[in-house]
């Protein structure tokens, strides 16, 4: 499996206001969005807008995100086994595991690791989304 960036999720203070800002810039909100998170197809990657505190909690990253900021870079995988494989590869490369891969509250499977500089990465399998042959997420319009 070749690694790739699937989603960049920004921890934001106000999801509705941030969504309006990005829509104003010309981005289109996907129908996959919910009140708690906005998804935007942004070229080859998806931009996610998620509540700042909720993102810190989900990534278990409060110790490394000490300011107002916080974001994750995500790799989506075709299976739970691929998630486990990528988490093992990351740990072997020196990543700090923030959250072991496990079933998620939303019905998927994923975990988080921090790179040597403390940037949080999510590795996830979303059984509700289709990945194309290159591993790219294709959200419905």
What pLDDT, on the 0 to 100 scale, is given for residue 68? Answer: 61
Q: What is the pLDDT of residues 110-127, one digit of tens each?
A: 999 998 878 899 999 999
Percentage of the chain exceeding pLDDT 90: 61
C-beta atoms surrounding 23 within 10 Å: 13
User: pLDDT digit string (tens) for 46-80?
Assistant: 999 999 899 999 999 888 887 766 778 899 999 99
Q: d(Cα 79, Cα 83) in Å, to the nearest integer?
A: 7
Beta bridge partner(s), residue 75: 123
CATH (residue range 7-125) = 3.10.180.10
Angle at 102 between CA 54 and CA 79, to 5 degrees: 110
Give the span between the Cα atoms of 29 and 34, in whole angstroms.
Answer: 10
At 69 the pLDDT is 63
Say yes or no to pLDDT of 27 above 90.
no
């Amino acid at each position: 499996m070749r690694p790739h960036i699937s989603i960049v999720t920004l921890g934001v203070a106000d999801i509705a206001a941030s969504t309006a800002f990005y829509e104003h810039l010309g981005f289109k909100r996907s129908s996959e969005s919910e009140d708690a998170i906005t998804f935007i197809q942004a070229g080859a990657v998806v931009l996610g807008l998620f509540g700042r505190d909720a993102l810190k909690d989900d990534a278990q990253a409060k110790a490394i995100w000490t300011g107002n900021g916080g974001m994750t870079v995500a790799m989506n995988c075709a299976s739970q086994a691929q998630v486990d494989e990528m988490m093992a590869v990351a740990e072997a490369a020196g990543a700090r595991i923030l959250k072991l891969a496990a079933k998620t509250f939303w019905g998927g499977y994923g975990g988080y690791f921090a790179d040597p500089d403390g940037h949080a990465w999510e590795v996830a399998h979303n059984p509700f989304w289709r990945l194309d042959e290159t591993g790219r997420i294709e959200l419905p319009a």
